[in-house]
A and B are shown apart, each in its own frame.
Chain A
Amino acid sequence: MTSHRDPLAVLDAMALEHRTAPAAAIDWTFEVRTNDAALGAALAAVLQPLTAEVTPSGTYSVVRTTHAGLARYRLYRDALRLLDCDEAARTFHHLLWDVNQQAFRRSTRTMVLHAAAATWHGGALLLPGESGSGKTTLVAGLVERGMGYLTDEAVSFEPGTALVRPFPKALSLKPGARRLFSRARPTVPTELDAHDRPWHVVPDAIRPGAVAATAPVRWIVLPRYADGATTTLEPMPRAACLAALAGHAVSALDRDRFAALREVVRGASCHRLVVADLDDACQLVLERVVS
């Protein structure tokens, strides 16, 4: 007869002494523990902007084992094993990816959009876009030039309002955008700095004190990266913006949430932005949208 022990109880009994502070990714609250000091320190640094006074509803555990001189990493979310591999970098990036996924999936009470967001004089600018639209690069450029940082990935609203809640995660700068922000290069251990994976840049590395507070939506700009094109900005009708925004909702919209999204758009000016050059794009946003 075989007996199975609860995996979480096994993890609880292990000496995973390196812990991050409790953190909140929208409605997903969690902490991380590991027996790998370097990995724990890197995760603590990257997750620091999400630190919150919450009781975590979940725990990531990263267990490093060594056998015959070879390291192995196992990543768990509570009792669920997410990854078993021999790369610290892969474990590091997978954990951060999972934090984002849980932020999307567990935000049942609030409406969440795939969008970056920044603030200017108390108003919020939304930059909706799918992966590859250039929204992270654009928001990083705007923050570098003085705007406040809310998120580069997921916008959530205070229920029943157009108030954007901060989700100030580290910005995920893809390899193609690194040259634009080389001075913000994260200081992570060599084994975590894979050339083909994004940099996770804390907002303070873009500009100290960049993280902003909750703000009402005043501007919506739909960016589209187009290599070799001309950077252009043009106004768009609010109804077209609403239809586009609906396409960026993380979970399916019903008519009530569609109506709520209308209220978000109703008070905003709306533009389309083709981004070929970051300097030009930032200048257009700062001079012709938020000014």
Chain B
Amino acid sequence: MKLEARSTPLPWPTLAVEELDGELAVLDEVTGGAHHLNAAATIVWRLLDGTTSLGAIAEAIATAANDEPRHVLDEILALARDLDARGLLAHDVDQAAVEPPGP
């Protein structure tokens, strides 16, 4: 499912996460892959709780940073989709998008 503004992802629970200088290194013990999240990505990562939508996170950050909300949302969606593509996020699967219509 493509992540949208209403999506409420959260970090995949089994990841090992270490912080250094306000940035994160994330280890997926299953695949062995390790990933770097810069300071901006780390702020967003910490706000991903499975209940707050990406849109709400974008609003909060735009307000705090006095930035353009649409621009912030675009940045956060791009980041979330990148994290998702790397297998770092858990989120609900949109059943309507993957199940064939009934008879």
> Is B37 part of the contact surface with A, judged by Cβ < 8 Å?
yes
Q: Which of A229-277 contact B (CB under 8 A)?
A: 237-240, 242-244, 246-247, 252-255, 258-259, 262, 265-266
Contacts of A254 in B (CB 8 A): 16, 29
Known: A246-B25, A246-B27, A255-B27. A239 touches B34 (CB 8 A): no
Q: Are A258 and B27 in contact (CB under 8 A)?
A: yes
Q: Are B29 and A255 in contact (CB under 8 A)?
A: yes
Q: Are A243 and B34 in contact (CB under 8 A)?
A: yes
We find that the number of chain B residues with CB closer than 8 angstroms to chain A is 18
> Is B63 part of the contact surface with A, judged by Cβ < 8 Å?
no
Extra inter-chain contacts (10) besides given A237-B21, A243-B27, CB under 8 Å: A238-B20, A238-B23, A239-B25, A240-B25, A242-B20, A243-B25, A244-B36, A246-B27, A255-B27, A258-B25
**The residue from B19, B32, B36 contacting A240, defined by CB atoms under 8 A apart:** B36
Q: Are B20 and A265 in contact (CB under 8 A)?
A: yes
Q: Are B20 and A237 in contact (CB under 8 A)?
A: yes
We find that the number of chain A residues with CB closer than 8 angstroms to chain B is 18
Taken together as a complex, chains A and B put the C-alpha atoms of A237 and B41 apart, in Å, by 14
Q: Which of B10-42 contact A (CB under 8 A)?
A: 16, 18-21, 23-27, 29, 32-38
**The residue from B16, B23, B33, B36 contacting A259, defined by CB atoms under 8 A apart:** B16
Q: Are A253 and B36 in contact (CB under 8 A)?
A: no
Taken together as a complex, chains A and B put the C-alpha atoms of A88 and B23 apart, in Å, by 52
- Interface majority SS (helix, strand, loop, mixed), chain A: helix
Known: A253-B27, A258-B27. A239 touches B20 (CB 8 A): yes
Taken together as a complex, chains A and B put the C-alpha atoms of A255 and B24 apart, in Å, by 14
- Interface majority SS (helix, strand, loop, mixed), chain B: strand
Contacts of B25 in A (CB 8 A): 239-240, 242-243, 246, 258, 262
Taken together as a complex, chains A and B put the C-alpha atoms of A265 and B25 apart, in Å, by 11
Q: Are A253 and B18 in contact (CB under 8 A)?
A: no
Q: Are B21 and A239 in contact (CB under 8 A)?
A: yes
Q: Are A243 and B36 in contact (CB under 8 A)?
A: yes
Contacts of A240 in B (CB 8 A): 23, 25, 36
Q: Are A243 and B35 in contact (CB under 8 A)?
A: yes
Contacts of B16 in A (CB 8 A): 254-255, 258-259
Q: Are A239 and B37 in contact (CB under 8 A)?
A: yes
Contacts of A252 in B (CB 8 A): 29, 32
Contacts of B20 in A (CB 8 A): 237-239, 242, 262, 265-266
Determine the residue in chain A with the shortest Cβ distance to B32. A252
Taken together as a complex, chains A and B put the C-alpha atoms of A252 and B21 apart, in Å, by 25
Contacts of A258 in B (CB 8 A): 16, 18, 25, 27, 34
Contacts of B19 in A (CB 8 A): 239
Contacts of B29 in A (CB 8 A): 252-255
**The residue from B23, B24, B32 contacting A253, defined by CB atoms under 8 A apart:** B32
Determine the residue in chain A with the shortest Cβ distance to B24. A239
Taken together as a complex, chains A and B put the C-alpha atoms of A252 and B36 apart, in Å, by 18
**Which of B18, B24, B26 counts the most A-chain CB atoms under 10 A from its CB?**
B18
Q: Are B21 and A243 in contact (CB under 8 A)?
A: no
Q: Could you show 10 A-B contacts with beta carbons less than 8 Å apart?
A: A238-B20, A243-B35, A246-B25, A247-B33, A253-B29, A254-B29, A255-B29, A262-B18, A265-B20, A266-B20
**The residue from A237, A244, A247, A265 contacting B38, defined by CB atoms under 8 A apart:** A237
